[in-house]
Structure formats: structure tokens, C-alpha cells
Structure 1
């Protein structure tokens, strides 16, 4: 603060008032003012730090201004002035001092009186102090007694607490609140008993603690066993009902979800796709089902008791033994051996009830594991128990199938539903069902497939036996559309929708084919329906069974199984019935075509419903059933049956044409009546048999008939012992009539002019040998034939030389000339024979060509 004053405005003002311009001097008035600025500076002791701190700046300024001597002088002056002022002040204060002395005397008198009072008070205080000390001693003694009393009260309270806790423990045991009782025992031993351990009753209580602990432990487990008996045995029916309702709900939910999305069709319940789309709240929890009222306090209490005692492993072992007792009681029926070695169930209802209980038991096992956090049993232990049980159950289910010999398809469906639902429940709770799934495969392959085959075969046999075996005709458009939707046919068929303009319409096939197509489609749909649920695994094997054990067998030629054999037996049985044989052959044409379409249909349906098609087929679905080969053979058999029947009919007709008179005297103006009858019967026969047959078989049948007729009449001619010219002319007239009749018959069964002209040429080749024989016998001179080889080759190339000579020799009145020939002629005759054989071979090849077509 001093420097600011020295260097401040006051210093500047002083210089201005005195008019001094010399900054080296310090104004005396200014120094005086500086020294007097604060009167407190002199009221402070000279040794005071404040004084020195205040004076130091002034001295520094004086030194800087070279005015230190003047400063000292001024300071001395000031001191003197102050001494004078002090002396004056002292003299003026004498009265006041005297007054103060009087006052001091009064104060001294009062203090003397006060001292006396204090002495009296001191005495009183001394007296009170002695009394206080006496009372304090009494108080201390009383406090000591009070402390002892309080300590006694505390001990008594602890004793009471021990007794109360002991009684409380017994009450908790009676109330089956074992864990609380065990906690109270722990509190009793660790807190209360230690405070009263010197009392005899406390020692007895302490000694009884292990017994109480054991009692709690034993009764906790016994209560757990009772809980198991009530909930794992008595409530199994109710639990199984809840589980079954849940599996039905899951099945219905998944079915509805698949209806809106065809890509989900191949996936079954419990498949990864279904599980990924399942609502998490759809899982069934036994302990959340309020209708069951299963309280878990008992099982939790037992776990806490044993965990508190660090005996969790012991509880797990005891629980496992108890659970196995329940398990053995629940599965009992299949552990009771019969004479056959395995248990038997009397009916599907009994089996269903049993499997429902078993399912509930194993589901509860895993849910207890989950809710107890695997403190009692692990899922591995549960799975091992399940695997052990499955090995016992499989023989029982197979024996049930074998012993009951189901005769109704509904029974097989019921067995599949019972077993399939059981498997889905087990799989839904993560049990392995691979081995048990084989029962469903056996059911499908060994029971469902044979029964389905026999049902289809029975319907088919009934259909072919009740068929009228005539082309099917419909006059209503709805019927036509239904047939087109059911039957398989070629797109270019004459009855295809694009070729139909009006009703009625006649199909080449009979009702039998319609029933067959409908039956095959129903057969496939029955299979798809059967495997549509529960069949989720071994899909390749499943497809193999469907194709090879069902369709290949039922469509094949296995006796008593395949309809191909049934058709063959039916044709054989009716081989003389021209309507049955001819219509059966026509139907076989469509049967054979349908097999190719059935293979495609099976592949498509299996691919859409199981996710995989049939193995070893290309992308164009060109799978072909092996039954095609059987039907090709059956078609050949039907063809041979038709020809055999035709041959028999023709033979019967030809037997009616008799040639008894080979030496007539009159010429006939027209063919013999028996020949005309034969031609008429032949025309009717072909019209009734071949009218609906394919072009190739009609053509082949006609040529076979031509050949047969030609050979017959040639045989008649060769077998005659002798004849005259008139007989030959009459015979020629008959043959001409037959030839003309058969040409007309051929034209009736051809679809085009080119085919008809080609057929006529072929027909002429059929009768060539017979015609040449007749023409030979009609010659006026036989020498040309006998002697002129060129003539023979030009006109009679189909007749062997020796055969021609034999025919000529039978002519009445003919004198056989010398037939000795030179070597050249003999060689030529052999050559003619060879050429005739070549021509015959050519016709045989021609006939074979038609037969192949």
C-alpha cells in the first residue's frame, strides 16, 4: 500500500502546488503527509512487522530521492510533537484517573464479599461432592447388578429362541417345508446354540441336529417320491391328452400353412423347415397347463435340501432309481413275455392308450430335466433310457401287426396314426426315432402295399369281368369331359378334344380302360395320402417301395398280384370269344400307352409330395415302368390268341366246304353255295373281330387268313386222288369267288387307296401258288410245262416241277409221257425249285413285316 501512495497522485499534486521542477528532492510537506497518513503506524510496536512493512517503502523512496537525512529529521520532529501531545493529554486526565481509583476500591470491596460467598459455595460443593461420590458408588453397584440381569435375560431369550427354533423345525418338517427347516437348523447351529452351549438342554439339542438333518433329507426325498407317484403315474392320462391335443394342433396348423404355399408340401411336421416356421408359443409345457395343477415346490424343495447339504449327486442317484421304478411300472405290459416271446395288445385301443402313456412319461422326463436345470437327470440319461425302451417296443409293434392280420384298410390307417403320432411326439421332444421309424416302413411295405394291391386287383378283376367288351359310346359332353380327364390317350387320337365336333362319340376302348385309369389314379392318391403325414425319412426307400413293390407288382405279371397276369388269364379263359379277345387287344393298346404316362405321373406326384422324384430319370421325366415289357408280351399273347381264334373259326368254316365229286359231268355257272357261305361267314368274322383293331393287326390278320385259306384249298387240290377238267373249272370258279371276296374284305379294312393297292398286290402273291396250280391244270397241253423250262419259269415259278407233274398225273384221261430229261433240264428243274423257295421266303418276310408293325 505504501508504494502506491508514494508514487500516486498525491505526490504529483504536491509537486504542482510548490512549483518545483527538480524531481531529485522530496518535499518536506509530502513526507510529512506520508508519515501521518495513518496514525496507526505509531500505535504499533517498533518491533511489529506491520510497522516495518509500512515504513520500508517510505525509506526506499527517500533513498531514491537522496533525502534520507531530511527524512530522519522529520521523523525526529514528529516524535517530539507526539511526546508533547502525550504529556498534555496525561495532565488533562488526572481527574479521570482519580475517579477510576474510587471505582476500583468499590470493586475490591465487592470482590471481598464475593469471595466469602464463594467460600460458602465451595463448602457446599465439597459436601455435595462427598454425597455424589457415595451415590456414584451405589449407582455403579446397581449398574453391575443391572448388567448381570440383562445378560441373564439375553441368555434366557437365547434359550427360548433355541427351543422355539427347535419346535419350529419340527413344525416345518410336518408341514413338508424341508428347505426352510434346514435353513433354520443352520441358523440354530451357527448362531443360537453357540450362545447357550453350556446348558445341558442345548447340548442335547445340538446332538439331535444330525438326526433332524437326516429326517429332513429323508422326508424331502420321500415327499419327492410321492410327488412322482401322483404326477408321473396317476396323471399320465391327463398329460397324454394335453400332448395329443398339442400334436393335433401342430399338424393342423402346418397343414393350413402348406395350403397357401405349394413349396412347403414336401415338408412334414418336425422337419427343419416346419420348426423354423413354427410359433414358439405352440410348444406344450406340462407344468404350464393349469388343468394339470402340477406344483413344482416339492421337487425344488428336495433339490435345495440336498444342494444345501452338498449331496446333489446322492439325490440324482436316488432320483434315478426311483424314476426307473416308475418306468418299469409304466412299461410293464411289454416286459411280460408270452409264449411267443413278446407281449401282445388285444386291440388298437389298448395299444393307443399304452403308447399315449409312454409318450407322456418320456415327455415329462425331459421337461422335468429342463425345469430343474438337469440337477436330477440329464437329457443324455433320458435318451439312453428311450433307446433301451425302443429295442423292447419294436418287436411288440411288429408282433401286433403280424398277429392281428388286418383285413381293412381303415385298421392300417388307425395303426399308422397311433404309431405316427407317437413318433412325432417323441421327435418333437428331441428323442431319436430312427429305429422305431422302421415300424412305419414295415407297415407301408409289408401290410399297406399288399392290401392296396389286392384291393386294386379285386376292383380291376371285377371291372374286366363285368365289361361288355364293346367300344364305349357317350352322348353327353360332361361324360366325355370326365373320360378325357381320367384316361390317358395320344394327343392325335381321333377322339381327342381337338378332333371332336359333335356328340355322341365312340371311343376305341371299352369301359374297362376307364375303370383302369380311374383305379390307377386313385391308387396313387391313396399312397400319397397314406405317406402324406408321419413319413418324413428314408424317402428314397419309400419311393422304391411305391414304384417297385406297388406299381410294378400290381401292373406286372406276378401270379395272384399283377393285373397283367389277370388280363392274360382272362383272355385265355375267353380265347374263343371274339368280342372279348378283340376288345381286350384294343384296350391293351391303351394300357401300354398309359404305362408311359403313369411313370411320368408317379414321378411328378412323388416329387411334389416327398421332395424327390424317382432315381435314374432325366429332366424330361422319361421314367418308364418295367411293366411296359410285360404288356408288350401280353399284347403279343393277345395277338396270337386272336389269330388262333381266327384260325380256328376259319378252319371250322373251311370244314364246311367239301369237295367230294372231282369227276363232275356239268359245269357250274357260279361258285358253290358252301364256298359262298364260307365267304359270308369270313366277312362277318372279320367285321366283328377286326373292325376296332389297329390297322397293323387288321392287315396282318387278313394276310394270315389269306395264306391259311390259300394253303387249305391247295391242300384240297393236292389231296384229290383224281379230277377231270370240269372239276378243275368248277374249282377255279370257287377260288375266284374266294379271291374276289377277300379282295373286297381287304378294301373294307384299309384306310387309304395306296395301302389298298399295295395290299391287293400282296394278296395276289398269297394266292399265287394256288392260282398257278389251277392254271396249270386248265392247260390243254401239259407238254410245255413238262418239257419247256422257260415256259415253266415264266408262268409257273411258284410250282415245283415234281409237284406240277404230280398234279397233272391226276387229270382224268392223261397219259403220262416219257419224263426222262437231260441233265440240263434236270438242273433247270432244280433251279425252278430253288426260285420257288426264294419267292416263298420273300412272302414270309413280307408277312413278318406286318406282324412287327
Structure 2
């Protein structure tokens, strides 16, 4: 009911407003809301009632007004009637309008309903479109991951996949496609990991293929550093005390930058981007340990493929060895570069383990192939390549001590080849020598021989006249040249990197000792069996100079010694040559004494001769002539002291042999004429010795001269008087003197034939004296 009252009041107000409208437009504007409400609530009757009520009220007002003013009332009635007519017309129009509005309202409601339905459908379409676009974006990003993967942009693909998983999939998480893509993410990550691993493996393959060239470039760089260090040493000897890779050399060479891994001159470029990208991707995936282990295993397999099963060292250009060392060097350089360019990816332990393994395999291969090498020059080239390899790798911080044993083995073999070659040279020199003083035809030739030989000439070269001869034979300077060459070639082995100085010094000393003792000294001593004094003399002269050469060589070895071992160097060959010289001297003594024996054996003394010849015996003349000739020809080249020693021994031996002639047991008696003949020969020999103007040599004849004088003495009893004997016959042997006096006495007795009584008295007296000295008749 209250609602009805409210509606009536609202209609009344609306009707009031309609009546107060000043224009048809305002009237319609006021009527339209009322008609709209009427169409909804069926309030048309109420509207009509309100309008009727308004009309009645107006009529009442009109009547009231007419009662007071009829004319006006009539007028008003007329007006009212007109109004009424208009109202009726208006009512009809309103009803017609109401019907039209009602019809349009129904259409409007239908349209509104359709609009609401259309808006729901459109919202669904918009939501579906938005969802579809979101899914399409996700699919596009998913496809983009595979596109980036196909373009080798692995890290970009991984970033896109991460963005897809953590951002875009959350926006479409309510859709099934999100679950499908989410399930495919691990597989895609594996694809990215496999793809980047494939790239790394391809990169490792290319690195392995390029390792040899990389090692070749590294060797070239080391050669350049050697050249620069040599040039610095030539300019300043101070740099010669420092080896390659020393701190001083590295500082001096730091201005010459050379990047082995990226160098335009050598066209080398090692890009670590694939490795760094793979490391980053596996780190992002949380699989760094797996990648590190897989990479290490791959490098170990590549290391095994790098080392060949066999190696030849006998090829002319050394290609096999160079290829092996360059490949190992390139492989190891990449490992060091990997450590420097990454952080804790490759540990020093892993790299050093690979390096030690490669070094051991390399040493084994070279050691097994060494026995095929039969030439010291090839060994020197092999050592040179290994030394270059060691210097190169030392500059990269690798330890090369494991290769020292290989160098030592190569050096031992090298020294053996040198000894064999020089042994043959020495043998040929010794066997083909003419054992004659070496002729020199010019000053230039003389200077060359003196420079290569350990020989100090007695005269200045300006004082010499050419042609001339040197005291030694041609073998001596040739051996000196070979000794110097041997020394140079042994030390040539240590020029680059071989640090075993003590081994070189000891090997050199022992080798030279062996060569000189066995191939020179022993060969010369064996040739002393010759029967030619001239050859023996020349051998003695050569031995004398070789002894001097050994002494000089000891000083030279001490001077060039590179080890820190102190103390002098003593060659056993020095004593060997000294002993050989004594053997040669003895052999000369033997030959000279043998000749003296032969000459003295030709002596034909008639010990019971009654007359003596006016000239010395023929054998004595031959003897002195022989001694003179041998000293002035055969022994002329010997040093003065040796010559005097030979003279001294020869004269001593001759004196003894001459003295033995009358002492021979077959000689029973010696006549005074025979004594005079012997005395004449001894005097001739004494005069010959005097002509030599050497008082020491004359002492060899003292016993012989005094014995002959005793045999000629008038008073033989003086010999048995100690004081007289020491004064006149101090050099005479007591027993020999007594025997000769007895022979002379008996010979004189036979020649003179004295009376029996006198002879008997003399014999009895001599027998008494002889028995006193213990001499039997």
C-alpha cells in the first residue's frame, strides 16, 4: 500500500510537471519517463486517473472562478472545452505513443538481452584469444629455443628456455600446453648440453689436428728467442752467463711479444669460446663436475691418440721425431692456456699428470728407436730437437727433468759413436804414418801445424828457412786435430740444454784417455818391435810430444770444465806416454847395444900375439863410426838429454863388452902385445869420447881404461895394496883385476920363458896374493 501511495504521488508530481511544461518538447521529456514506468508496471490506469483527477481539479477551479466571473467562466469553459478536446486528442496520442513506446521497449529489452548475450560471447572470445595468444607466444619461444640451437647459439637458447620456463609458462600455467612444455624442458636442456658438448668435441678435434702446427710455431718462437739471446751475448758477454728461460733472459726478451695462440704472422688462432660457452652452460645446468670429468676423459683419449705406436729416427729430415715433439708441445700448450683462461676448470695436477704421461711415452718411443741410429750427427740432430722441445716447454712452466735421462742416454750413445769414429781415425793415422820428421814447405803451413798442435818451437818463425822439418811425424798434428775436434764435438752436445756438465766432463776425460792410451800410445808401443832404429827414434819423439800434449790437454780440460767439481784433471794417458817413452828408450838401447854387441863380436884379438898392429882394430873403428853416425843422423832428432842418455848407455855397454873380451873364460893367457893392442883400441875409443866434449860420457870408460892400465902396470902388486889401488885403480873390480893380472902374468911368462926357479917364485907369490882375495887360478 505504501508503494501504491508513493506511485500515486509520483504520478501526480509528474502530471503537475507536464502541465507546467511550456513547450511540446518539455512535455514529451516529462511524459517519457512516466510512460516508461507505465510500460513496466501497468500503471496506465493510474496515469489516466491522475490526469482525470487533474482535469477535475481544474474544472472545479474553473467553476469556482466562473461563479465569480461568468463571462470569464464561459470563456474559460470554452477554453476548457477546447482544452478538453485537446486533452482527449492528447490522451489518444499518449495512448498511441504509449503503444509505440511499449512496442519499442519490448524491442529494446530484446536487444538489451541480445547485447548482454553478445557481450558474454565477446568476453569469452577475448579470453580465448588472449589465452591463444599467450600459448602462441609460449610456442614461439619454444620454437625460438630450437631455432637458436640450430644456429649454434647455445647459451642464448638456454637463456630463452630459462625465460620460457620461469616467466612465460607461469602465465599459461592453467593450460595443458604449459604442462606439456614444462615436461619437455629437461629434454631440451639435454639437447642443448649435447649440442654444446658436440661443439666442444669438434673444437677439441680441431685443436688436436692443429696441435702439431701450434708446436711448430712454439718451436719457431723459441728459435727466435735463441737468436735474440745470441745477439745480446755478442753485444754484451754478461748475457752469456744466463740460459734461455732464465729471469734475465725473460726480462730482456719481454719487449718482443709473441702470442703463440693468436698470431697473424703465423696464422694461428685458438679461440676458447666454445669451451667457455660449454663451461658456462654446464655450470648453469648444475653439471659442472660432469663436464669437467668428461672433458678430462676426452683429453686423455686424445693424448693416447697423439702418441704413435712406433717411431723412426733414421729418416733424413727427422720428420717423425719433429711431428711427435711438436704434437706433444701443442697439446701441452693448449692445456696450460686452458688453465690460464679458466678458473679451476683444469687443475695443475691433471695437466701435470697428462704431461708426465706424454713425456714417459715419448721417452719410451725414442729410447726404443735409438738402437737404429748409427750416426753421431743424427744423434746430435735428435738431441737438438729434444733440447728445443725442452726449452719451449720449460717456458710454459712444465717440468722437463724426466727428459734428462733420455738426453743422458743419447749422450752416452753419442760419445760411443764419437769414440768409435775417432778410434778409427786414430788407428788409420797411426797405421799410415811414415814415421819420419814432418816436412814443412812454407810459413803458412808451419803456422797451421803449430796452431793445431801442442808444440812450442825453439826458434821464432822468422828465423826459420823453408823447407824445414819438425821433430815429430805427421801423425802428431793429425792426432792433435782429432783431439780438438773430439773435444769440440763432445761439448757441442751441451750447447743447448744438456745440464749434466759433470757427466760431459767425466765422459770427455775418460774417452780422451781411452783413445790416447789404446789407439795412440798402445799402437805406438806395439810398433817398437821394429828393427829400424830410425822408426823407433821417431816413435820416441812422438811419444815425447804426446806426453807434452797430454799435460797441455789437462790444463785445457780444466779450463773448459763446466761442472762445479774442483781439483786438477789428471789423464792416465800422460803416464802411459811417459811409460811408452821409457819403453822406446829401452828399445833404442837394445838396438844400439845389439849393434855394439855385433861389432864387438867381430873383434879378433890374438891374446897370445907377439906383436901389436900400429892401427886400432877394425871393429873399434866400425864401433866409433857407428856411434858417430847414429848420433848425427838417426838420433839427431831426439832431445839432448835422451841423446846423451843413449850415448851414455851405449858407451857403458861397449866398455863392459870390451872388458868382457879378456875376461872370457876361454882366454887363459894374455900376452903383452895383446895388451898393447887392447890398450890402443881403448885409447882410440877414449879419444873418440873426448871428441864428444862431454866429460860425463868419459866416466863410462874409467873402469875399462883403469883395467887396461892395470894390465900394463909394471908393478902389479900395487893393485893388492888398498891405498895404491884406490888411488890408481879405484874403478877396477877386485875380482876382475886379479883374474886379468893372472892372465897377463901367465901370458908374459909364456912369451918371455923365464928360468923355472924365478917363474916358480913369481907364481907362488901371485898364488898367495890371489888366495888372499879368494881368487882361484
Provide the TM-score with structure 1 as the length reference. Answer: 0.69
CA contact (8 A) 2:199 2:274 kept: yes
In the other structure, the counterpart of 2:506 is 544
CA contact (8 A) 2:435 2:473 kept: yes
Residue 369 (structure 1) shift: 3.1
Residue 799 (structure 1) shift: 3.6
Q: Following superposition of structure 1 onto structure 2, how do residues 326-725 of structure 1 map, counting pairs within 5 Å?
A: 326-333=302-309, 347=315, 348-375=318-345, 377-401=346-370, 403-406=371-374, 408-444=375-411, 446-490=412-456, 493-496=457-460, 500=463, 506-535=469-498, 537-546=499-508, 548-555=509-516, 557=517, 559=518, 562-570=519-527, 572-574=528-530, 576-606=531-561, 612=562, 615-617=565-567, 623-655=569-601, 657-659=602-604, 661-719=606-664, 720-725=667-672
Residue 409 (structure 1) shift: 2.4
Distance 1:793 1:230, change over 3 A: closer
Residue 230 (structure 1) shift: 3.0
Report Cα offsets for 1:690-733 as digits up to 9, x if no partner.
21222221221111111100111111111123332222222222
CA contact (8 A) 2:719 2:729 kept: no
CA contact (8 A) 2:441 2:466 kept: yes
Report Cα offsets for 1:26-79 as digits up to 9, x if no partner.
xxxxxxxxxxxxxxxxxxxxxxxxxxxxxxxxxxxxxxxxxxxxxxxxxxxxxx
Q: Which moved more, 1:344-353 or 1:592-601?
A: 344-353
Q: Following superposition of structure 1 onto structure 2, how do residues 269-308 of structure 1 map, counting pairs within 5 Å?
A: 269-279=244-254, 281-288=256-263, 291-292=267-268, 294-308=270-284
Residue 781 (structure 1) shift: 5.7
Distance 1:282 1:820, change over 3 A: farther
Residue 404 (structure 1) shift: 1.2
Tell me the distance in 1 between the aligned counterparts of 2:617 and 2:767.
Answer: 44
In the other structure, the counterpart of 2:710 is 776
CA contact (8 A) 1:786 1:819 kept: no
Report Cα offsets for 1:171-210 as digits up to 9, x if no partner.
2222332211111100101111110111111211111111
Residue 819 (structure 1) shift: 6.0
Tell me the distance in 2 between the aligned counterparts of 1:578 and 1:823.
Answer: 48
Report Cα offsets for 1:428-454 as digits up to 9, x if no partner.
32221112112112221x222222233
Residue 288 (structure 1) shift: 4.4
Residue 370 (structure 1) shift: 2.7
CA contact (8 A) 1:155 1:195 kept: no
Distance 1:369 1:470, change over 3 A: same
Distance 1:816 1:545, change over 3 A: farther
Q: Secondary structure of the residue that 1:584 maps to in structure 2?
A: helix
Structure 2 residue 289 is the aligned partner of structure 1 residue 313? yes
Distance 1:150 1:295, change over 3 A: farther
Distance 1:488 1:699, change over 3 A: same
Q: Which moved more, 1:244-253 or 1:312-321?
A: 244-253
Residue 531 (structure 1) shift: 1.7
Q: Secondary structure of the residue that 1:533 maps to in structure 2?
A: coil
Report Cα offsets for 1:347-380 as digits up to 9, x if no partner.
55433333332222222222233334452x2232
Residue 151 (structure 1) shift: 6.3
Tell me the distance in 2 between the aligned counterparts of 1:666 and 1:821.
Answer: 28
In the other structure, the counterpart of 2:96 is none
Distance 1:268 1:788, change over 3 A: closer
Tell me the distance in 2 between the aligned counterparts of 1:713 and 1:291.
Answer: 96
Q: Which moved more, 1:318-327 or 1:383-392?
A: 383-392
Tell me the distance in 2 between the aligned counterparts of 1:565 and 1:397.
Answer: 37
CA contact (8 A) 1:675 1:734 kept: yes
Structure 2 residue 739 is the aligned partner of structure 1 residue 803? yes
Tell me the distance in 2 between the aligned counterparts of 1:790 and 1:303.
Answer: 118
CA contact (8 A) 1:679 1:741 kept: yes
Tell me the distance in 1 between the aligned counterparts of 2:313 and 2:494.
Answer: 25
Residue 322 (structure 1) shift: 1.3
Distance 1:395 1:647, change over 3 A: farther
Structure 2 residue 222 is the aligned partner of structure 1 residue 247? yes
CA contact (8 A) 2:313 2:373 kept: no
In the other structure, the counterpart of 1:731 is 678
Distance 1:157 1:280, change over 3 A: farther
In the other structure, the counterpart of 2:59 is none
Tell me the distance in 1 between the aligned counterparts of 2:195 and 2:207.
Answer: 18
Report Cα offsets for 1:815-835 as digits up to 9, x if no partner.
4646667999789858x9xxx
Residue 473 (structure 1) shift: 4.5
Tell me the distance in 1 between the aligned counterparts of 2:157 and 2:720.
Answer: 140
Residue 812 (structure 1) shift: 4.9
CA contact (8 A) 2:229 2:244 kept: yes
Tell me the distance in 2 between the aligned counterparts of 1:353 and 1:691.
Answer: 64
CA contact (8 A) 1:578 1:688 kept: no
Residue 224 (structure 1) shift: 1.5
In the other structure, the counterpart of 1:19 is none
Distance 1:486 1:370, change over 3 A: same
CA contact (8 A) 2:607 2:670 kept: yes
Tell me the distance in 1 between the aligned counterparts of 2:387 and 2:569.
Answer: 31
Distance 1:578 1:714, change over 3 A: same
Q: Which runs of 5+ in 1 are unaligned?
A: 1-118, 131-137, 335-342, 607-611, 748-755, 833-853
Distance 1:704 1:614, change over 3 A: farther
Tell me the distance in 2 between the aligned counterparts of 1:819 and 1:349.
Answer: 104
Q: Secondary structure of the residue that 2:609 maps to in structure 1?
A: coil
Say which of 185, 191, 200 aligns to 1:209: 185
In the other structure, the counterpart of 1:258 is 233
Residue 427 (structure 1) shift: 2.0
Tell me the distance in 2 between the aligned counterparts of 1:476 and 1:345.
Answer: 47
CA contact (8 A) 1:394 1:439 kept: yes
Report Cα offsets for 1:403-430 as digits up to 9, x if no partner.
2151x22221222123222322322322
CA contact (8 A) 2:651 2:700 kept: yes
In the other structure, the counterpart of 1:71 is none
CA contact (8 A) 1:398 1:439 kept: yes
Tell me the distance in 1 between the aligned counterparts of 2:226 and 2:534.
Answer: 53
Residue 466 (structure 1) shift: 3.6
Distance 1:809 1:148, change over 3 A: farther
Distance 1:255 1:154, change over 3 A: farther
Distance 1:346 1:459, change over 3 A: closer
Q: Which moved more, 1:687-696 or 1:347-356?
A: 347-356
Q: Secondary structure of the residue that 1:692 maps to in structure 2?
A: coil
